[in-house]
A and B are shown apart, each in its own frame.
Chain A
Amino acid sequence: MPILKTFCSICNPHSHCGINAHVEHGDLVDVEGMPEHPANQGTLCSKGAASRQYVYAKNRLKYPMIQRGDRGSKNWERISWEEAFSVIASRLTGIRNQYGAESTVFFAGYPKWYRPFLQRLAIAFGSPNFCTESSTCNSSPTVAAKVTYGYFGAPDLPRTRCFLAWSSNPFFTNATLARHLLDQKEKGMKIIAVDPRVSAFAEKADLHLQLRPGTDGALALGMIKVLIEEGLYDRSFVERWTVGFDELSNYVEELSLEWAEAMTGVPRAKIEEAARLYGTTKPASLMTSASPTTHHINGFQNHRALVLLPGLTGNFDVPGGNFVEPHTYVHNWSGAPTNEEKVRLVDRLKDLPPRVGEDRFPVWCRYYDPEGQSMMIPFQIRSGKPYALKAFIGFGANYRMWPGSDFLKESLLSLDFLVNADIFFTDTCQFMDLVLPAATSFERSELKHWNSKYLMLTSPVIDPVGESRSDFDIICGIAKHLGMGELFWNGDINSAVDELMAPSGYTAEELRKYPAGTTVRNPLKPGYKKYEKNGFPTPSRKMEITSTILKQAGFDELPLYRAPQYLDASSNASAYPLILNTGSRLPMFIHSEMHNVPWCQELRKDPLLDMNPSDASDRGIGHEEWVQLETPRAKIRVKSNLTETVLPGVVHIFHSIPEADVNLLIEPDYLDPISGFPGFKSLRCQVRKE
């Protein structure tokens, strides 16, 4: 049986495992991890191991379909690709003529691989509104670090001796890191975990700081106080390379560790121990996560406070610290430079109207990749300000991603034209006008970069399911029917890859000679302490503890701590006494993905609400009983899961469960004022026995 080479793209782009696909008569019959691939070295996570059921899921979209009659009427009619493209081109042209190109939003969910091409389509069409799920994902931490340092870096893992994981469970988020982290631990690397829950990762830490949700800033400031007062910061770095240290010192002097303990629930002694361990074990690195610290309405400044730690301790851009490597392609740093930005046509944005959300979240919009802030889509649809929105072209869009998901759905339903391309017939697809079947990574050709200095240009390893097509082909098809075929390489992925990879001297022809991928030759070698050459890429050329950018935008220049809303005395504490923490990773799902895959879904069938037994017994609730989870906005039916891994007073539920959509419980404007990120992880709730 032939073994063909591809990779799994179900989860986030920092992981993505090489796959040996066992193929018989064009069908996928088994998968294994690819042993020679540096990212996974033959291993897979539970999602990747379920690839066969993912590819052949019952709810795969097989054909382009148009909904005749009312949206949601289920009056679907199969149409040809040619007809689908014609309808899209003619509707978009009409809407552009009447309302302007900016009235069409192009949205990208998961996976992320086609984003450069979709943004190219949006901008070439004339719309600045390329929006993505990054509006609630990694972008707030990215901007928080950017206004502080100008850039940021991941832990330089093999060299680090102290690994501070702040609200991250890499065992489930980046399964490819698991073996490396455990190897390093066995070699003596210390692990500090900051997490409101006893996660599988926190359990293996040398020190676990179990803080209350949304109090990360208070914890970071408490640690900073210890570092400064005990002289554990890097004096020469601070004097030479920072602005605002005196202001920070004065601020933390006013704060006490008793205050930090009262805010966070973490005992003072543990805060001191963590600061000393992180401050004296050199080199130390900080592992942040894509979003947990910033899914609070005080999250941006909380994250600002905690990203000060590497700089203050001299661990920024040093071996074994947080090492800054240049981005190369779609959220990865392979060492092989690309023309991604050119392909995205972002230089044309300056001639286009402002993006969605640019008026309300100017710092986020200016300092993240040039995208619209998706959280503002429903508000702009309703207000028509600063201009009307009329069409939504989604790729992997999931309306349940938004806080107040029903509010977004209603907003979308008021638009003139709704399209979603997806692998599966999701519940977002159900209310579209037109749906387009997208291919999985097994059925398409894709250029992929890995941080492990590795490249792949895959070819399809199986026949496409139904008439599904690569997202690239779909984007080029739309472009062609809009009269822009040439700008989209006439649909030829090899030409696109040639243009993308030109700066590193690879061609599609060469990359196709290595079906299992290839180690980047002559990768960029950025070196450490890059700031010593030209300073930091910030307004002051230094690490900005006090941020010029935030000050100019009217925000606190220091990461002053503002307690989460649930601690506000005016909030309705007696009716909603529990703190609701949502999201995070389970190993068998990623967001809304894999709930349709039996091998994953059967591992956790019910919508489980993690609840401390003490809170349950107060309410007469037993284990695995149906309960109502309620906020002032709405309630959902869930099943209790009594566990000591969550703090007393805090309940936790996974997001994206179709039959128990927790985002219904959250107000759509419950957003951080700087980033626009929703407060998914700290709001008041009550749980009642049914």
Chain B
Amino acid sequence: MARSEPMQKGFYLDLTRCTSCYSCVVACKAHHAVLDETVYWRRVMTLETGSYPDVRLANFSMSCMHCGTPACKEVCPTHAIHKRPEDGLVTVDQNLCIGCKMCLMACPFGIPQFGKNGKMQKCNFCLERLEEGLSPACVNVCPAKALHAGSLEELSTLATRKTARHLIRSTDPSFFI
């Protein structure tokens, strides 16, 4: 499923609103009960540019971008990574994963995480919430209303209002910024 597919789900981060409050990061770990302190399915980074007195900050909240052509899936030797036909979400079957980290090397964003069990883990778009018609925990919690989830079509409409754009990379990430 590529960017032309309207049912593909993804995220939109409104850079004009993200405050780097880390709510999304903690809500993600709490909801998925991620206890390993080095494992983050979602991360927040602040990029500082310039020097005093002209300093700019840009805050980024990033997770798996559920790419149209996921590089992680291409390289996985055990076919543990799957792209759902109905909504394009990229999931991992830990029973098949052998922890070789090929996916980490292939991912342009350094997304795949490896905790104590050595198996790949990452954002699954809160699938069980999706089934109940709920948005992912990170989006739901955001106090600044900066993070959005939805179909590419919905995200495109929101992003256009803010002159945000579909992120262009070879893997076709489902991410507007």
Contacts and interface: CB of A to CB of B under 8 A. Distances in A.
A599 B26 contact: yes
B30 A179 contact: no
A587 interface: yes
B52 A644 contact: yes
A182 B26 CA distance: 22
A603 B25 CA distance: 9
A176 B143 contact: yes
A496 B152 CA distance: 54
Interface stretch (B55-63, B72-80, B89-97, B104-112): B55-63
B86 interface: no
Interface stretch (B1-9, B14-22, B116-124, B167-175): B14-22
Interface string B127-154: 0000000000100111111100000000
Q: Which one of B35, B46, B142 has the highest number of Cβ atoms from chain A below 10 Å of its Cβ? A: B142
Given A33-B141, A178-B144, A198-B57, A43 B23 contact: yes
Nearest to B161: A186
Given A30-B30, A50-B30, A200 B141 contact: no
Interface in A51-81: 51-53
A179 B140 CA distance: 13
B48 A644 contact: yes
A645 B143 contact: no
A140 interface: no
A665 to B, nearest CB: 25
Contacts of A203: 56-57
A686 interface: no
Contacts of B146: 182
A397 interface: no
B48 to A, nearest CB: 6
A392 to B, nearest CB: 35
Contacts of B163: none
Q: Which one of A46, A49, A588 has the highest number of Cβ atoms from chain B below 10 Å of its Cβ? A: A49
Nearest to A587: B21
A501 interface: no
Interface string A610-634: 0011000000000000000000000
A178 B21 contact: yes
A179 B145 contact: yes
Contacts of B53: 210
Interface residues of A, number: 44
Contacts, number: 107
A598 B30 CA distance: 11
B144 A182 contact: yes
Contact of A587 (B22, B29, B48, B50): B22
Contacts of B55: 198, 644-645
Contacts of B177: none
A210 B52 CA distance: 10
Contact of B52 (A33, A201, A599, A648): A648
Tier of interface size on chain B: 20 to 34
B140 A201 contact: no
A171 B144 contact: yes
A175 interface: yes
Contact of A179 (B27, B29, B46, B143): B143
Contacts of B35: 598
A284 B136 CA distance: 37
Nearest to A33: B141
Contacts of A186: 16
Given A49-B23, A200-B19, A643-B48, A599 B143 contact: no
Interface string B27-47: 101110001010000000010
Contacts of A44: 23, 27, 141, 143
A201 B16 CA distance: 11
Given A178-B144, A210-B53, A201 B48 contact: no
Contact of A645 (B29, B57, B142): B57
A600 interface: yes
B39 to A, nearest CB: 10
B48 A175 contact: no
Contacts of B20: 200, 587
B32 to A, nearest CB: 10
A647 B48 CA distance: 14
A160 to B, nearest CB: 19
B29 to A, nearest CB: 5
A45 B143 contact: yes
Interface in A568-620: 587-588, 598-600, 602-603, 612-613
Contacts of A603: 22, 25-26
Contacts of A31: 30
Contacts of B145: 43, 179, 182
A-B pairs, top 8 by smallest CB distance, nearest first, are: A171-B19, A602-B37, A49-B27, A49-B26, A587-B21, A46-B22, A46-B26, A175-B143
15 contacts: A32-B137, A45-B143, A49-B23, A50-B30, A171-B144, A175-B23, A179-B143, A201-B19, A203-B56, A587-B21, A598-B37, A599-B30, A600-B26, A644-B50, A644-B52
Given A46-B21, A643-B48, 7 more contacts: A44-B27, A172-B21, A178-B19, A179-B145, A602-B37, A645-B55, A645-B57
